[in-house]
Amino acid sequence: MHYFTSVTSNYIPKARVLATSVKTHNPDAVFCLMLADQLPENVNLADEPFDDIFFMEDLEITALDAWIFKHSLVERCTAVKGHTFLKIFQTTDANKIVYLDPDIVVLHSLKELSEILDRHDIVLTPHQVDPETTMDAIVDNEICSLKHGVFNLGFLAIRRSDEGLRFLEWWADRLMKFCYDDISNGLFTDQRWVDLAPAFFDVYVLRDKTYNVATWNLSHRHVTLGMEDRLEIDDVPVKFFHFSGFDSGDQEIMLKKYAHGNKALFRLREWYIKAIKKAGQDELGGLPCIYNYYSNGEVITGDARRLYRSRMDLMEAFNTPSVVSEHKNCYYWWFKENGTGEIYGVSEYLTEGDRVLLKLKDSYLWKVARKSRRIKKIVKKLVGVAG
């Protein structure tokens, strides 16, 4: 089987730990890295546990700069997963491909998964396989799944078959066009789309509790320490553990809430902290993604991305929106001059003086200027227009 994960440079340490864990327990595995970023200068691929690496340019995405600009970091890393599956199938002899999130650690052989793929084309794991019984768990887990997706797309396994490829063509297309973190409009990156998959395709739902163990399903999965320090659930080895929410601190919070002082899981967390540190977390963990910035080095804001992707006229006018032109005929300068009013739909009501003052809103000067009568008048004007 081939395995891959999708990361930016700051997640390379976690990808190293993942790849090493895959190969430790599955010696015949081939592991690929999808790097949605530039390769750091101090990373030598010959020394890495990755057998192959793909970059954004390898996926042959139409109007790549504009496509990248429309997506946040997380949206980009998830949006390329479908095309990476297809690329691996196109460029290798892989018959089975498994995607794993970079914050996963494989703890046992996945031979059983390979056997499942002998019989099934598409394998998914739900966030939960048992109904919750407490109000906290219903809110934390079941309602969260309703918002973010029934299936956790930190794992996805596909067999090279007509049905597997048919699914990938559909999923990859949707991710190219609609892979956004936009829960209010029914989207959450790549996950919500797969809620439709069992209706459209022949999907195998893997309900085995030893796969994709994470804080969102610990309320019904009691992990114990077996022989040779092996993690088990009901005397069956845990196949892989998902450290989702690790960097934000959510993983630790929810582990304390649902692991109930489980020493085996806290030992695993302590091991993981040491493992990613040894893999270069201190050196690489803080690296910014190259696609977070305009060509002049300024950060691209979420507002700038969302406005651009919502307006066909802007996409047609500025097909390389990250590139800043000294002649000001570019998206960067257009957004500087028009962005605030366009976002709130009140651009035609603002005078040039209003625009100048509103440009200060992210600076220290705004704290001073907002107390002025002029700012209060602008705010009143905006409130009146917006209702």
Q: State pLDDT tens for residues 47-103.
A: 999 999 999 999 989 999 999 999 999 999 999 999 999 999 999 999 999 999 999
3-state secondary structure of 321: coil
Q: Are residues 236 and 335 both part of a single domain? A: no
Q: Are residues 327 and 236 in the same domain?
A: no
C-alpha 14/C-alpha 36 separation (Å) is 15
What's the total number of domains in the chain? 2
Q: Does the pLDDT at position 370 exceed 60?
A: no
Q: In the prediction, which pLDDT does 138 show?
A: 96
Q: Is the model more confident about 383 or about 90?
A: 90
Q: Are residues 203 and 278 in the same domain?
A: yes
d(CA 245, CA 96): 28
Q: Are residues 117 and 230 in the same domain?
A: yes
Q: Are the beta carbons of 386 and 346 closer than 8 angstroms?
A: yes
Looking at the fold, whether 120 and 260 belong to one and the same domain comes out as yes
State whether 245 and 113 are in the same domain: yes
* Beta carbons of 318 and 334 less than 8 angstroms apart: yes
Confidence label for 359 from pLDDT (cuts 50, 70 and 90): low
**pLDDT confidence of residue 365:** 45
Kindly indicate the confidence band of residue 373, based on its pLDDT and cuts at 50, 70 and 90.
low
pLDDT digits (tens, 9 = 90+) for 235-277: 999 999 999 999 999 999 999 999 988 999 999 999 999 999 9
CATH number of the structural domain spanning residue 39: 3.90.550.10
pLDDT for res 227: 78
Of the residues 230, 264, 284, the one at which a domain ends: 284
pTM value surpassing 0.85: yes
- Predicted local distance difference test score (pLDDT) of residue 383: 53
For residue 347, give both structure tokens: 């651009």
Task: For residue 224, give the 3-state DSSP assignment.
Answer: strand
Q: Which of 107, 197, 186 is nearest to 156 (CA)?
A: 197
**Which of 43, 76, 39, 45 lies closest to 61 in space, CA to CA?**
76
- For 324, the domain range is 290-386
How many H-runs (helices) and E-runs (strands) does the chain carry?
Answer: 19, 14
Query: Is residue 278 located within the same domain as residue 296?
Result: no
Same domain, 280 and 300: no
- What pLDDT does residue 366 have? 46
Average pLDDT for 172-184: 96
Residues 328-345: tens digit of each pLDDT: 899 999 998 888 767 655
Mean pLDDT across the chain:
90
Shared domain for 97 and 167, answered yes or no, is: yes
Q: Give the CA dihedral 172, 174, 175, 179, nearest 10 degrees.
A: -170
- Given a cut of 60, whether residue 387 has pLDDT beyond it is no
Pick from 284, 307, 331: which residue ends a domain? 284
272 and 299, same domain (yes or no)? no
